[in-house]
Amino acid sequence: MEAVIKAGGKQQRVKPGDVIEVELMKGIGETVELTPLLVIDDDGATHAGKNAASATVKAKPLGEKKGDKVRVLRFRPKTRHSSRIGHRQQYTLLEIVEVTLGAGAKRSAAKPTSAGAKPKSTTKSPAKPSTSKPKSTAKSTAKSTAKSRSRGAADEG
């Protein structure tokens, strides 16, 4: 059974036996229950939304670790100002122990299909030709030539 959890602002796909890194969690005990589950895959049956709300993922904390160092250079041109800083994010290592579906989840049964049933027709009706007439361009060209003549006469003037 697999699940997609949301921990520390990130989504991760987990199954029993996986070791994942989450944002630093302080004051945790022997086991941790992760409840904001998004999707659960139960051997081909997918549960999401209200069905996944009652499910839980139990994890065992293994320890803490620091991530890779990120170096930041801040530079402001023409002011003789620059600063260098570094950052190492702290993580908690969790080993996924079990994924439980919960009591409120409904197991979906496969829909029976009858051999004699015909599939619905998805053909569309033929397109009707449009009856609108093309717009005449004689008026628009007459207006534009009249404007250009009046501008030319004003320039000569």
DSSP 116-138: TPPPPP-PPPPPPPP-PPPPP-H
pLDDT at 22: 92
pLDDT in tens, 106-139: 555 444 444 555 555 555 656 666 666 666 555 5
pLDDT in tens, 35-47: 877 888 887 788 8
Say what the pTM is.
Answer: 0.57
Share of the chain above pLDDT 90, in %: 34
The one-letter code for the residue type at 26 is: K
Calculate mean pLDDT across residues 87-111: 77
Identify whether the C-beta of residue 85 lies closer than 8 Å to the C-beta of residue 72: yes
| Better pLDDT: 1 or 136 | 1
